[in-house]
Amino acid sequence: MNKLFNYGLLSAVALLSLSCEPDFLADPVLTNTGTLTSVQFEEAAALDPSLPTGLMSGVYALTFTTGTGGTGGHDDFGMKSYDVFSDMLSGDVALSQSVYGWYRASITEFGAPQDFTFGDNRQVWRYYYRIIRGCNSVIDGLGGMDAIPESQANKYTMGQAKALRAHSYFYLANFYQKEYNASEPILPIYRSAADQNGPKVPASEIYDLMESDLTDAVSLLEGYSRDNKTEINQDVAKALYAYVLGARGTDYTKAYNMAVQAISSYPVMVGAEVTGGFNNVNTPGWMWGVDLNQDIGLGLISWWGQMDYYSYSYPAYGDLKAIDASLFAQIPANDIRKGQFLNNTSFAQHLMPLFKFYDADRVHTGTSSIVKADYVYMRVAEMHLLAAEMAAFAGNDGASRVHLKNLVSTRVPDASYIDGLSGQALKDEIYLQTRIELWGEGKSYLAMKRNQATTTRGANHLSFVGEAIPYNDERMTFEIPEGEIQYNPFISTQNQ
């Protein structure tokens, strides 16, 4: 891990220069001349075979590095930033008290999705394109889109770069398009580090690239045994493929098969793990995550700094995030997940996840300003739920019930009620269980879009309480940022 982060963070420093208005796709500053071309990269990689792996480590480091959305904001801390954004947009995470103002005007009051001048639009756009740019640099250096590297190590690195690029396009497509419409131009597509300032292309082209990347990634990552869970392995690539197919809605059976294949190596979190803090990347049920430590040095500007009452954090000092009251009311009293939240109306912290996410020290305001609790990016529970959902959409209710019960039976004493569900009732139960199981993990927004759901905020939100908001409402997607409209000569309009 130290080797990964020491080398990776050095590469990340270089990659952090990728986004500089207006030309945020400029070459990374990796040499004293200011740029490293793909030819130079290939030559350097020939002399030092560890270079592609090191650069890929740098791209991974960007997923948890502060400021990677191009701001100095305390909501800009890599991939987990957008878990918070999306959970708040979907309404499952309620901003129940606001002292410092983070997320209120721009996200929970929908300022950014309705006004392209809000910085959050630019932050989301810039972060994911920065990751894409880093992945493209790795892919170019290994020979380009169609190349199959000769060494096994470089095959694995190529597979990781393609999988992470697909992940970034997947989130861009979800954040900037109301719903999948194959013919609607939605985003520029960049297949190489040399590509700059392109026009919007149809969603079908974006999704075709994701599928191509993930097909390659699954093949290239065959047999890969990763050193740590920060890296993407074949299981994670298959899981990402299942998500892409589910969002596209064109092959639910293949999505189901991908989700099932991703499950086999990981047990579901059970018992004390479910209320144990979600703070240890070594938890067997975690498929993908980051081992944070003192050397990495994250502090207040982090996911824990925005979500955990037991850290040096905003929740510790009054910016409270809680489960939506209406969603909480739907959790049965005998469900172990009910105990993840403080259920006491006498306290302002009512319905906060005090028993789901917490620093292991369990001291209010924390024992240190440095974050040592880990980040979870993906759990195997997601795949049980996604397999159940995809089977239901494919019309295979029997398989759907099996996968749903595999999870729910570990959460409640008796899950036999699932045997009587079919059709829309089964789909509705899977969607509810997804929202409960994955609360606060950045997955509710994706499920809302897949299920074409309408959400209604509960009583503990600060705004829009009781208002029904459909998945394809304008307020559920971000605007193409002002800077992109100004500086990209090929883009002058918002998406529909």
Q: What's the rounded Cα separation, in Å, for the pair 82 and 66?
A: 13
Residue closest to 227 by CA, chosen among 66, 373, 56, 78:
56
- For 104, the 3-state DSSP assignment is helix
pLDDT digits (tens, 9 = 90+) for 394-406: 999 999 999 999 9
pLDDT band at residue 495 using 50, 70 and 90 as cut-offs: very high
Q: Which residues pair with 289 in a beta bridge?
A: 376
Across residues 124-136, what is the average pLDDT?
97
Please give the pLDDT value at position 362: 96
pLDDT band at residue 188 using 50, 70 and 90 as cut-offs: very high
Please give the pLDDT value at position 27: 31
Please give the pLDDT value at position 329: 98
Please give the pLDDT value at position 39: 62
Q: Which residues pair with 257 in a beta bridge?
A: none
Instruction: Check whether 17 has a pLDDT greater than 60.
Output: no
Output the CA torsion sign for 280, 282, 285, 290: positive
Output the CA torsion sign for 19, 20, 26, 28: negative
Query: How many C-beta neighbours within 10 Å does residue 85 have?
Result: 23
pLDDT band at residue 43 using 50, 70 and 90 as cut-offs: low
pLDDT digits (tens, 9 = 90+) for 430-464: 999 999 999 999 999 999 999 999 999 999 999 99
Task: Cite the DSSP H helix spans in 370-422.
Answer: 380-393, 397-408
pLDDT digits (tens, 9 = 90+) for 298-316: 999 999 999 999 999 999 9
DSSP state of 395: T
Task: Cite the DSSP H helix spans in 366-489.
Answer: 380-393, 397-408, 423-437, 444-450, 482-487
- Structure token digits, residue 336: 């172990």
Q: Could you give the angle at the alpha carbon of 150 between the alpha carbons of 149 and 152, nearest 5°?
A: 90
pLDDT band at residue 24 using 50, 70 and 90 as cut-offs: very low
Select the more confidently predicted residue: 1 or 229: 229
Exposure on the CB side of residue 378, measured as CA atoms within 13 A? 25
Instruction: Check whether 8 has a pLDDT greater than 70.
Output: no
